[in-house]
Structure 1
Amino acid sequence: MSVTTAMGAALRRIQLGNALSAFGNGFTVPFLFVYVSQVRGLGASMAGFVMMTFAVAALAVLPFVGRVIDRRGPLPVAVAGTVAAALGSLALGLASVWPLVLAAAAALGAGIAVVQPSLATMIVWCSTPTTRSRAFAMQFFLNNLGLGVGGLLGGQLVDTSDPASFVRLFAIESVMFLVLGAMVATVRLPRAPKVEDKVPSGPTPQSGWRALVGDRAMVQLCVLGFVMFFACYGQFESGLAAFAVEVTRISPAMLGIALAANTMAIVVAQFVVLKLVERRRRSRVIALVGLIWAVAWVAAGLSGLVPGAPALATTLLISTYALFGIGESMLSPTMAPLVADLAPARLVGQYNSAFALVKQLALAVGPAAGGLMAGAGAYPAYIVLLVVCALGISVLALRLGRLLTAEQDNPVRAHARRTAAAGVAAEAPAARSVQEQGERTPVAV
């Protein structure tokens, strides 16, 4: 079997397992708050603590995951994470008192936090700089498709008056985590010259965090990532939802349609967008996403200014969610591959883990900030803040572009240039040979 074929087979197995795991997540994620607060009767405050526990558990393990991945390889780390997540999910479905609920949430949050950078590192190992964008775009597409389908099916099975129905949902999620672990365990990661620049073969440097902090481009990317996750992903479940219900005055059912529009935009646009951004500079693609999200936040703000036109207000708000989805589909083939291409060969796991840590921090701070501003009724200031953050994404992305090499900012175009240059270099000796042969051939008189 050729190296390319082995890489493709391993990548397909990883992607399929990841999609099934996302499918399992979709059965529980939309209903977790209702499950803790109403079904188990622990109240809204405890449901909030459970959400916070996910974030705290992830923040506790992520600083150490990268070093373990680089020392032991991503495969055993990913398998361990799936087992922890499966146990946590099943325990969460069976727990009925708050100490057990929090312990189960901690195990689930930590397990998912371990799995994410491990899978990202495995995708790096099974791809090349020119195919990496497409690989991460496929992962993002399958994640959203799995979550959407799982959520739809979970909604048909759930019954708030029957705790057993929730046990079934968490059992399905647990099984899907184990399926992911089994599929990952059977992957044979390629170790060949074609990918050896991304597969560690020697001891991991002891100064992984020091090297990362000293990397100006990576530090700038982490700052950019924090602003990005704070201003978009961190607002979906708190400030934006509150704004939609309290200011735009849409119904919860219509809010569900808006969320579906976000997922639909991602699923429909992903591969169309991929063809457009694949050959463009990554820094400029990210800058464009910032502008798109600024327009999305302006549309959200305008939806709250037309109370006498409910149809227009609803359309504006659904457009906000759809524009976010288009921006997300542009980022999926851009951000994660850029993290991998910035990483030194033996620190791919460290860099992936660090970026996951930044993402988790933003997802912890974002909903808290959005919830506080929504609770205080400071909606105009909230919209202005997020428009400024979106524009800040564009500025930070353009500044990051100055720190990137041509290979890091656009590997596809850089590869095409190298191929063209190699072709010209190969043609030159042949042309000289033909010319010399012509000079030596006697001319008939």
Structure 2
Amino acid sequence: MSCITQPAQAKAGIITDAMKHVAEVEMVSPETIRAAVAAGTVVIPANINHKGLVPVGIGRSLKTKINANIGNSALSSCPRQELEKLRHALKYGADTVMDLSTGGNINQIRRSIIEHSPAPIGTVPMYEVLARCETVDNLSESFILDVMREQAEQGVDYMTIHAGLLKAHIPAAKKRMLRIVSRGGSILAAWMNKNNRENPFYTAFDEILEICRRYDVTLSLGDGMRPGCLADASDEAQFAELDVLGELVRRCRAADVQAMVEGPGHIPFNEIEMNMKREQRVCDDAPFYILGPVVTDCAPGYDHITSAIGATMGAFHGAAMLCYVTPKEHIGLPNARDVRDGVIAYKIAAHAADVALGKPGARDRDDAISRARADFDWEKQFELALDPEKARELRAEALAERDMPADHDHKDERFCTMCGPNFCSVRISREL
């Protein structure tokens, strides 16, 4: 028996509690949210079994959201470390969190994350499928559906499935420098190539929709053909998959299942706007959930920066949610510190785009911190910072360089150590 999903209720003219909450947070009318959910341009990932969930709205008409990926690998991390990453992600401002565990204790880790998270939780079911199958040879359509049912029952709010990568797309991927960099996409391509069969996520899509209807799980239609380097960006393989994702969006909406679309990974800066507009057109303005994009390939260790540059441009041109990238991208499994750095980089990117787009209330924080700067109100500046701890750390470091204690009462100081008292432009100009 299916539950009554958010879009089904929206189409019936019902404004749910989740819609009311999103409307309040976004500073818009509840009717605006209802209409957008009914049209499929806004999604509210909210599994009926996720207790304690605080609903989040995702759509380009709303404030830009960010997602933080956590999860173990076969070589690193444990349940305790994943909960620490979750705490860091939520503390520093992630709107949703994805558990991408591929190692041991996957079920236990996911259950614990869902229990401890008020934010929507996403997964990539293929990872658990392969971890339990052990080899691609054991992968089957029925087992995929079993794993998705189990995760839905557990309370997962949205699932990434690579249903748009078809057997016919594989020859185009072979022309690429890096071929297929998506883990889920590469696994499926190998299975299709070996068995000469179509993508099981595509052939079982109707059954997948029924699972999602039962628990109101949102589908995140994954980009298994996302480019993994600038040389592969905006190519035949990427856009062939996007066309299929547009078809799947329409099937989701007809079935009253919420859907968003995942977008490219490595894209030159000048191609970002085109990619955002193309998704809006092909996928009927379904919320676009993008990874970065990373705008240059030559800065390992700094990809939270290279990708935040692209993320700002992507959000400005219509991306609804940004999947963060950490400094460990392309290098290793991120730790709690990397999660913090990635989340803050993406909070900056999302906020900058929202300010530029004039989203309701987006600039309030900027104006408030500017007033605090004008008043030399250091404590207020720290409180309003996206990362108050970092601001305090750097202020303490500056004080230490002046041989002053870290707990020095600096509230009356009307200058910083960069300019000093005689060259402080803010103080001087106030005396004009």
Q: Which has the larger radius of gyration?
A: 1
TM more than 0.5: no
Pick the structure with more strand per residue. 2
In the superposition, the TM-score normalised over structure 1's length comes to 0.26
TM-score by length of 2: 0.27
